[in-house]
Amino acid sequence: MDRFPALFISHGSPMLAIEDSPARRFLASYGEALGRPRAIVVVSAHWETRSPAVSAAPRPETIHDFAGFPDALHRLGYPAAGAPDLAERIAGLMRDAGAPVTVHPTRGLDHGAWVPLMLLYPAHDVPVLQVSVQTQAGPEWHLRLGGILRPLRDEGVLIVGSGAMTHNLHAFFRGGYGPDSPAPAWVTGFADWMADAIGADRRDDLLAYRARAPHGAENHPTEEHLLPLFAALGAATPGGARSRVHASNSHGVLAMDAYAFA
């Protein structure tokens, strides 16, 4: 059975689903390069819980968890099957690791999951489930979470951390940035520092990114959108290859970087 990489994807604005951009074109071609997994597990920044949770809906609904966007976005759906058996498998792995876990029987797919997946796998023919993030637990826990999920990669499962390389929404809404605005130095400096640290596997630096990376807290006033990166990194094979497979910017301040951890 194929072993898939663990991915980190910057999902940006929900407009990624319908608006042309370099990131959209990358995702629309990358699924074919990856191949078809047995199932997909998405650790999404848009499902925050106090303790770990796994979705087990047999037919997860498409959650339109946003407002102020065109009606065309609200008409989109991603009718992939769920994976209740895999949800129970993940819950077992978490319990074996001493982590509390809740299996959620009805949770659907938020836009952190369905927007990139409709580009990667538009036929929606791969079962999907989600794992929540615990923002208060920080990067260390999510690195451990990825390690708990790692065995699934030997079972034909694709693990996707879906968040954002940069996510300062105050700057996004207040800064006057248009779709094609150039990225300011405080955004590119952070993204490039992260690329160097990931490439060299400087995990201590990455875990302390808010203090050590240039403009770390400015790019992530809250951490939930970077935590899926640590889950993907934790799911990586120790010593394995790690690649920045895409880099672009949207509206200047949203770095759309994507990583594959082999």
Residues 182-215: pLDDT tens digits? 899 999 999 999 999 999 999 999 999 999 999 9
Output the CA–CA distances (angstroms, integers) from residue 132 to 54, 172, 181, 208, in the order listed.
7, 25, 32, 22
Domain that holds residue 239: 6-261
In total, how many domains does the chain have? 1
- Return the pLDDT at 170: 82
- pLDDT for residue 74 is more than 90: yes
Concatenate the DSSP letters of all residues of 9-71 into one string: EE--SGGGGTS--HHHHHHHHHHHHH---SEEEEEEEEEE-SS-EEE--SS--B-----SS-H
Q: pLDDT (tens digit, 9 = 90+) per residue, 234-257?
A: 999 999 999 999 999 998 899 999
CB 192, CB 186: distance < 8 Å: no
Nearest to 251 by CA among 194, 170, 190: 170
Per-residue CA distances from 105 to 55, 70, 247 (Å): 6, 30, 36
Contact between 213 and 225 under an 8 Å Cβ cutoff? The reply is no
pLDDT for residue 27: 98
Q: Tell me whether residue 190 is in a domain.
A: yes
Q: Find, among 149, 144, 134, the residue nearest to 86 by Cα.
A: 149
**Could you give the CA distance from residue 3 to residue 132 in angstroms, rounded to a whole number?**
23
Q: Is residue 1 part of a domain?
A: no
Q: Assign residue 110 a region: left if phi > 0, alpha if psi is -120 to 50, beta otherwise? A: beta
pLDDT at 227 over 90: yes
Q: Note the pLDDT tens digit of each residue in 2-21.
A: 799 999 999 999 999 999 99
Q: Tell which phi-psi region holds residue 149, choosing left (phi > 0), alpha (psi between -120 and 50) or beta.
A: alpha
User: pLDDT per residue over 125-181, tens digit each?
Assistant: 999 999 999 999 999 999 999 999 999 999 999 999 999 999 998 877 676 777 778
The stretches of the chain forming alpha helices (DSSP H) are 22-34, 71-74, 84-96, 111-120, 138-149, 169-174, 185-199, 203-207, 209-212, 216-219, 227-234
The pLDDT tens digits of the residues spanning 17-41 come to: 999 999 999 999 999 999 999 999 9
CB neighbour list of residue 138: distance below 8 Å, 6 or more residues apart: 223, 227
Q: What's the CATH code of the domain at 95?
A: 3.40.830.10
- Is 216 contained in some domain? yes
Structure tokens given for 154: 């030997």
> What confidence score (pLDDT) does residue 1 get?
61
Q: Tell me whether residue 102 is in a domain.
A: yes
